[in-house]
Structure formats: structure tokens, C-alpha cells
Structure 1
Amino acid sequence: MLDYPSLAALAAVLREGGFERAAAVLGVTPSAVSQRIRALEERVGATLVVRSQPPVPTEAGARLSAHMERVRLLEGELAADLPLLAGAEEGPATLRVAVTADSLGSWFLPAAARFSAATGTLLDLVLDGEDHTAARLRNGEVLAAVTADPAPVSGCRTRPLGALRYLATASPAFLARHFPQGVDAAALARAPVLRFDRKDGLQARWVEETFGHPLAAPTHWVPSTQGFLDASLAGLGWAMNPLPLVAAHLAAGRLAELIPGRPLDVPLHWQHARLGARLLEALTREVAAEARRSLVPPA
């Protein structure tokens, strides 16, 4: 039989990002958490977590953590049906979901709000780039993910959501100052560009697809979806912004496209664990419904 207190310690360390945080959640000492994981490693005969900051699971640790998170979800669903089974200290179930910052800022939250209102479930949202969220699902950190990766994760269901459309936008004043003769490769090399973080390659991808060469330009780093939009409006730089966020600003003339009619569509997919189906299927329905309203239909 599996040692579930030890599995819970492992999952908590990876979920909370440290031994002390896991201890606080579990109501034990950090030493107890460490001892439980060490005993589990001895039983499995393999290292389960790399003691770094934050801790990182090994392949075996990721599999065991994912199993424990799914057990927690199934227990939460069972407790909802049979309340007397739940301990007095237990609250509503929590789903840990990986989502891109742009999806969170532009279309995902209405789906999350409807799901939580209907089920009483809490959400623990983990932000990462669209090319990296599937890895969070693969290593057991989350139970569902919005991802650009169409390859199914083992033990998960996947479905296409549509594409999040991005437009290369800037304020009219910025365009007049940096592109007086129009947008071309030479002007783009001089004009400041906004990037979210070092994983953000959307601006470079748009330039590559539009002009056929890499982007090399002065860069402002703005790690916030709303900050990205505000920086664009303020004339700090040009950027790829999600259409749902900029449509009203384009209509009002507060922003303009660098080259009209040249969008960049990023296909998104929804993947979720097969177990714990009731809550995950409920969330899937809301996510799919909101995607139909907000995203470009799948090709």
C-alpha cells in the first residue's frame, strides 16, 4: 500500500514551493516533512525531489505527486457527496490549473468565475508561457492547463480551444515618432519593443513572419498583461497584445496596428487529468464555452 502521509508531504513541497511552506499547510514541522519524504525515497529506492529553491521533482517524484494531487481531487468530490466523511477542518476542493498570463488577462477568468460559483471549488492558478504550461501538467504540478502544446500528456484528455489572436499595436504618438515613413525592418530595429519576459517570443515571431528576419531592437521588459497594455497606451513601446484586450482601444483610436491585417494567431489547447472527472469536466465545459466566445475558431 502507498504511504499517503508521505505522498502528501511530497505533493505539498512541490505545490507550495518549499519544505517550510509545506509544513505550514500540513500542520507539522519542516523536519517531519523532510523525514516523510526521505522515508518515501528509501521505500521507492530513488530520489524524488531535488532540494533546490524551489524544490524540483525527479521523474519518479513527478509521477507520485501527480497521483497524490488526483487522489486529493477525488477525495474532495467524494466529500462533497458524503459530507460526513470530510474532516471538520477540510474546506472546498481546490483545482490547480496552469494558464498563460495573456489568457488569464483576456478571456479565462469569466469561465473560472462561473465554474467556481456553480461548484464551490477553489482555483489555484499557476502562470507560465503558452509553450511551458504543458510541462506543469506533465510533472504533476497541476491537474489542467491552457497550453499551445497539442501533444497529449499521458493520462490526460486534450481538446483544441481556438486561437488567441494577437495584434502588433502601439499608440498613435509612438507610431508617428518611430515610424514616420511607415513600418519597415530598419525602423523596427530602432523602435523600442515590449516583452513580457525572456520566454516571450511573440514579437520576434511576428517580425520573422512579416519581414523574414530576426528581431533585434531596444527592449522594455514588462511582466504583466495589464502592464503590457498600459505601456502600449502610454507610448513606451510597440507590442503584441491580445485582440480581446485591445479591440475597444483600437476602435477608439487609442491604439493602432503597426501593419493592419497582419495578426498573429496562437492556437491554444485545454488538457486535463482523466481522473476526478466531475469537477474537471465542469471546468472544461466553462473553458470551452468561453473560448468559443473569445478566441478565433480552430482551423
Structure 2
Amino acid sequence: MNALDTAGLDCLAALAEAGSFERAAQLLSITQSAVSQRLRALETHVGHLLVVRSRPLRLTEPGKVLLRYARQMQALRADAARELGATLARDERLPIAVNADSLATWVLPALDELVRAGQRHGYGLELIVDDQDFTHDWLRQGEVLGCVSSVAQALRGCHCQALGQMRYIAVAAPHFMERHLPQGLNPANFAQVPFIVFNRKDDMQAQWVSKAFGVREPRLKERFVPSSEAGARAAAMGWGVAVLPELLAEGLIASGAVRPVRPDITLDVALYWHQWRLSADEPSAAPAPGGRIGLMEQIGQAVIAGARATLRPMPAA
């Protein structure tokens, strides 16, 4: 296949980001007709339909393959502009996927210095949130350049590094426990007690109950609160039992807002950093001229350092 047109790849990335031709045109500061023409030229060049014209539009499997390539080209372009001291027409989007609990605890401090530097260098870090069991899908589909995931196996073309373990504990407000759990949480009452759940992908509460009481696939009374911080607040307000990251719960426990429920039962979730390789070097991109490394490599290094300074270490092999 001959060299791909970068304008067409930028259109494909904008369409994936915006979800419509109108919004993609706005992102690129061109007309909708120009977006359609560039996409059609790219589809003709590769011999595949790349976008299904639905609402919202979606990428075909060949489109996802090219999206991965387009995202990597954007990251490399941002690196080149930074090295040359050039100003980009618009911030290059560098998306990574993280789980909500990591975002609520250690990810923002880990990336803080890098993001502040990015304000001067013209690139836009985007954090996409999903369950740790599903962030890997965003990487596979080409939507992101890196992800924090519970999946240990690296995709072809990616490298993977262990970050550490996030420990989860069950907590509830003291007044909730006095009213609803005077005898404690046990096999006879857990099904009647409300549990605070992030969303329908979140099975942390079910895992905790399974471990605590030896019940396979427990059916729980769920109250959905789609935010880690808000879920912790809901627990402190007495909405139910919450299975929270220890990092998020420890301050609430210290203040007396919540108490541990069965402190002897904990869950440790291993997390990994996955990143597309932007060069042929192993295991990660080589330093740029002058000893500087690429932006995605800097993001990866910041995530790894922040996680290993905060999370529990992985168990010895």
C-alpha cells in the first residue's frame, strides 16, 4: 500500500472524535464537503469502507486499523513540532483510557507536571474513563494511545508494564450500619442491603461478597452512582455499602464518616500500563534527538512512576 494521505487520516481521527461530519469539520476548520472528499479519497486509496454513515457514525474494522495509525501519527507530529519549536494549528489529541478509581486517586497527581508542560507545547491530553476490565478495548480499537487496565497481556504492537495493585475495602456510614447492620453484614442479610455500584460494568461489589461469603454470582440490591468520588460521598451519607479503593476510603475512615465492613476481607486488583509503540525500538520509543523522549513515552513514564509510588507492589512471582 502506498503512503497514506495525512489529511485523510486527520479527517478519520476527527470523525472518530466528533461522531459526525459537521462536528469533524468544525474541529478541522474546514467544510463538511471537504471532510467527505478527504474521507472518500482515503477509502478509495485503501479499498475499504472506513466509516458507517450512521448517527452517531461508527468506524468499520478497517477504519479502526487506520485510526490507530492516525493517532500514532498525531503523537509523532506533536513530538516533531515540540522539537522544532513550532506551533501546531491545533492541539494534537493524545488520548489515554483510565479506570475511574485510578482517576479519583493517583492518576491526576501523576500527570500534573506533564499536563502543565503541555499547555506550553501545544498538545491536548484527553482522559477517557471506563472500567479497568474494558479500557483495553479502547486501545484495541485505536481510540486511545495508552491505557490503565487489569488486562496483563499486551496487544501486538504494544508494550505492557505492571503498575501495582489497587486494594479495595467495603465501608458504610456508622449510622447506616447501626440501623441496617446491627449484627454486621452476613450471608443472611447481604441480599437485602443496598450496595453502591458505579455502573452495570462494575462487579467489584459482587466480587467482594463472593469472597466474603463464598457465594457464586450473588444478586445484590444495587444503587448506581457513576462517580468514584460521589460513590464515596453516597456511602458517607448512608446510601449503602460501598466497595472503595483503600486510597479513597482511608480519609473518610480517619474522619469517622465511614467504617470498614468486614475489614478482614479485601480485594487486590492488579493494574497494567499498555501503550502503542511509536517506533520499532523495544520495549519503548527511543529518545528523540538531544536526548528528549516522545510525548507518549513521557506520559507512560509519568503514569508508571505515579502508580508505583502509590499502589501496592505486585506480589512476588
Residue among 277, 284, 295 paired with 2:300: 284
- The SS at the match of 2:269 is strand
Is the 1:134–1:147 Cα contact (8 Å) retained in structure 2? Answer: yes
Q: 2 CA distance for matches of 1:190 and 1:26?
A: 53
Aligned to 2:103: 104
Give how far 1:118 is off: 4.2
Is the 1:134–1:149 Cα contact (8 Å) retained in structure 2? Answer: yes
- The SS at the match of 1:186 is coil
Aligned to 1:135: 137
Give yes or no for the alignment of 1:39 onto 2:67. no
Q: 1 CA distance for matches of 2:130 and 2:55?
A: 18
Q: 2 CA distance for matches of 1:53 and 1:227?
A: 31
Change (3 A) 1:283 1:55: same
Using the TM superposition, name which of 114-123 and 171-180 deviates more: 114-123
Aligned to 2:192: 190
TM-score by length of 1: 0.93
Aligned to 1:232: 235
Using the TM superposition, name which of 61-70 and 286-295 deviates more: 286-295
Is the 2:75–2:296 Cα contact (8 Å) retained in structure 1? Answer: no
Is the 1:134–1:153 Cα contact (8 Å) retained in structure 2? Answer: no
Aligned to 1:264: 267
Is the 1:178–1:187 Cα contact (8 Å) retained in structure 2? Answer: no
> 1:157-188 deviations in whole A, cap 9, x for unaligned?
11010111111111111112221112112211
Q: 1 CA distance for matches of 2:175 and 2:148?
A: 35
Give yes or no for the alignment of 1:59 onto 2:61. yes
Residue among 11, 19, 25 paired with 1:9: 11
Q: Name the amino acid aligned to 1:178.
A: H
> 1:65-105 deviations in whole A, cap 9, x for unaligned?
11111111111111111135x45x344x4421111111101
Is the 1:50–1:57 Cα contact (8 Å) retained in structure 2? Answer: yes
5+ residue gaps, structure 2, are 280-284, 286-293
Residue among 160, 164, 167 paired with 1:165: 167
Give yes or no for the alignment of 1:49 onto 2:48. no
CA RMSD of aligned residues (A): 1.7
Report how many aligned residue pairs link the two structures.
Answer: 296
TM-score by length of 2: 0.88
Identity %, equivalent residues:
40
Is the 1:96–1:124 Cα contact (8 Å) retained in structure 2? Answer: yes
- The SS at the match of 1:42 is helix
- The SS at the match of 1:141 is coil
Q: Name the amino acid aligned to 1:116.
A: V
Q: 2 CA distance for matches of 1:240 and 1:209?
A: 12
Give how far 1:58 is off: 2.0
Is the 1:108–1:290 Cα contact (8 Å) retained in structure 2? Answer: yes
Is the 2:211–2:265 Cα contact (8 Å) retained in structure 1? Answer: no
Give how far 1:107 is off: 0.9
Is the 1:48–1:58 Cα contact (8 Å) retained in structure 2? Answer: yes
Give how far 1:218 is off: 2.2
Q: 1 CA distance for matches of 2:59 and 2:185?
A: 46
Give runs of aligned pairs for residues 79-118 of structure 1, distance below 5 A.
79-84=81-86, 86=87, 89-91=89-91, 93-118=92-117
5+ residue gaps, structure 1, are none
Change (3 A) 1:125 1:294: same
